[in-house]
Structure 1
């Protein structure tokens, strides 16, 4: 029964590009183990000018399929993103986007094609995608020495399925990004209120078991996967990060909005900082435990204020005992005046500094967004499905 259900679901859920947008070619140079290095060819948008920073791999899954993966190395990276792409796309179409994300987010990035997509062998099924992402993750660990606590899983659209499934089995995972995610396969077709046994990608039931920060990105005008899917998943997260609801965004164009890369950069920065804080305190501070409604510079300002407060209290303790009650009262009165004066001065300074820094950050990221718009990161010819497509 399970095989029949999986086969039926695959007909509704998966739309691999046909023909694939790329071919694989062997290079003269040999990789580790004596095998020939691979490169992607005949793909619109695949540029091989920086091949020393890109590895093309074939990975064997537990089900005997061979899936193609690409690994983008960034020398400045401390984190690695494992990206599960959406439907009606393959690595040839995603190549430029992966390259740009690795460069501008300063992360290593691995993307892979599901079984039956691109030049990967086998057929696309729900269970195959689960072993596909396992093979990619295993490669990161064994070939590149990536630690679980340095991995961010990124799932786009149908890719949110394998992403969340793997995330439930990685207790030390650093973070998760869900880009236009689905609550479940059946919920894309019909807004059911409960989960049925024959449903696929039951993300809505898995999300509460994710024990790391989760960023959800969704377009408000998504006509393939309703915005409600992203909102439901975010509401069920244990560790919510401020979501990005792209006003007017559809299913395959979110990369074109300046706030997309701006928000991702902010998220990566917060995750990097949370590692240092976790090493000291053993837990992540409010940067990730609650939706972020403030920027990082305010945390710095708050820390400096706390230090001044501690210093002031320490100085008060060192004051000599007063010799008379009247003198103590006068001193307390003058201290209160000084305290009110200090607060009235400090508060506007914090707001002014915060505003200036926020403005600079916004201008800087907006300029990057204009560049993203000009190069056209989203070069996917998005499949225009019927109501049954995911």
Structure 2
């Protein structure tokens, strides 16, 4: 019964793009074993990697270098996306935030081997983190974990086990897989990505970004996770923002840049130097994010996340899962990052001087219409 239920839960969560949006090839010239991605623009500051995980799979990752970087972002992307679709966004984030950035595809996504599962994603992010430390010499205290949507699961799992992380960013996060589909008030043992139980264990500052009009993962998920954070940073509730379009709002990149600048100035917040959050109470009280009555009960912090509720039966899984939307219609690689100068639309230089232009550049992207938790076999 248990394994069947766990398998059922997993099938609601993972939708790798099919076919993948890119391929990986070995470069013929020079450096033996050097990899390149097809279907994306080649950049000198990007390394393409294959990483082995403790589950025996090989995942693909990209490392975007910024010579001015002091910090490194480890980005876990959302559902129904792969590295080919995230590639341009990763490059722009590295550029504008002045960070190194490592993004990776989960097992079964893109050109990564194996199958997608909750436990595999935990092994995947561990392999990516190990690569940052061992290959690129990144220190734990200089790494920021960034989790988008389903990516908030592996992000919080790793963050809950690292005591010296610099910070965490949660972008349209989920409280748990089951809570996206059902208005449950407690955590069942067969649930996946029990973020609501792990967030109190995170020791570093946490920034939460969520759209108030998110019709896939209700904004109450982000709000409740933020309320359970030990080290709260001023959250960003994007008014009118949906699940897959937050990058198009100017306040998204502005707030991220402010956040990065704040944590760069502090050696470590847990040494008594918390970030400046003068508007923290206002943010809490003025948010347009109104949680559903069934999910507005604040869960108590839990010390254990993996050995709870195993005796509870799956008796209230009779409701039909809510239809949501996570079918990737298009990709971010169509984004035009050209900087317009002297009315020349063909100018090849990317905009580098103004953060305000990030939103303008991103508006040429084709928005996704993603159903994060549609049951397997349902029409997409």
- The two structures have a TM-score, normalised by structure 1, of 0.74
Structure richer in helix, relative to its length: 1
Q: 1:380 to 1:27 in 2, by over 3 A?
A: farther
**Which moves more between the two structures, 8-17 or 218-227?**
8-17
2:276 is aligned, of 287, 290, 296, to 287
What is the distance in 2 between the residues matched to 1:265 and 1:92? 24
What is the distance in 2 between the residues matched to 1:177 and 1:136? 17
2:241 is aligned, of 243, 246, 249, to 249
What is the distance in 2 between the residues matched to 1:215 and 1:371? 20
Report the CA distance between 1:287 and its aligned residue: 2.3
Question: Residue in 1 aligned with 2:118?
Answer: 126
What is the distance in 2 between the residues matched to 1:292 and 1:78? 30
Report the CA distance between 1:388 and its aligned residue: 5.4
Q: 1:366 to 1:55 in 2, by over 3 A?
A: closer
RMSD (Å) for aligned C-alpha atoms: 2.4
Does the 8 Å contact 1:213/1:289 carry over to 2?
no
Question: Residue in 2 aligned with 1:91?
Answer: 83
Q: 1:30 to 1:155 in 2, by over 3 A?
A: farther
What is the distance in 1 between the residues matched to 2:128 and 2:250? 30
Summarize deviations over 1:71-121 as a string: whole Å, max 9, x none. Answer: 000000000000000001000000000000000000000000000000000
What is the distance in 1 between the residues matched to 2:199 and 2:149? 15
The structure with the largest alpha-carbon Rg is 1
Alignment of 1:49-64 (within 5 A): 50=43, 52-64=44-56
Alignment of 1:142-157 (within 5 A): 142-157=134-149
Summarize deviations over 1:317-363 as a string: whole Å, max 9, x none. Answer: xxxxxxxxxxxxxxxxxxxxxxxxxxxxxxxxxxxxxxxxxxxxxxx
Does the 8 Å contact 2:147/2:170 carry over to 1?
yes
Task: Indicate the structure whose relative CO is greater, using CA pairs within 8 Å and at least 6 residues apart.
Answer: 2
Structure 1 portions without partners, runs of 5+ = 295-364
Report the CA distance between 1:286 and its aligned residue: 4.7
Summarize deviations over 1:137-175 as a string: whole Å, max 9, x none. Answer: 000011000000000000000000000000011100000
Question: Residue in 1 aligned with 2:326?
Answer: none
Alignment of 1:188-337 (within 5 A): 188-275=180-267, 282-287=271-276, 291=280
Question: Residue in 2 aligned with 1:77?
Answer: 69
- The two structures have a TM-score, normalised by structure 2, of 0.76
Q: 1:67 to 1:166 in 2, by over 3 A?
A: same
The answer to whether residue 96 in structure 2 is matched with residue 104 in structure 1 is: yes
Q: 1:205 to 1:30 in 2, by over 3 A?
A: farther
Does the 8 Å contact 1:85/1:159 carry over to 2?
yes
What is the distance in 2 between the residues matched to 1:171 and 1:82? 16
Question: Residue in 2 aligned with 1:22?
Answer: 22
What is the distance in 2 between the residues matched to 1:257 and 1:211? 29
Secondary structure, aligned partner of 1:136: helix
What is the distance in 2 between the residues matched to 1:293 and 1:268? 21
Report the CA distance between 1:372 and its aligned residue: 2.9
Q: 1:55 to 1:2 in 2, by over 3 A?
A: farther
What is the distance in 1 between the residues matched to 2:362 and 2:179? 35
Residue-pair matches, total? 308
Report the CA distance between 1:383 and its aligned residue: 2.1
What is the distance in 2 between the residues matched to 1:241 and 1:251? 21
1:373 is aligned, of 343, 360, 377, to 360
Structure 2 portions without partners, runs of 5+ = 284-351
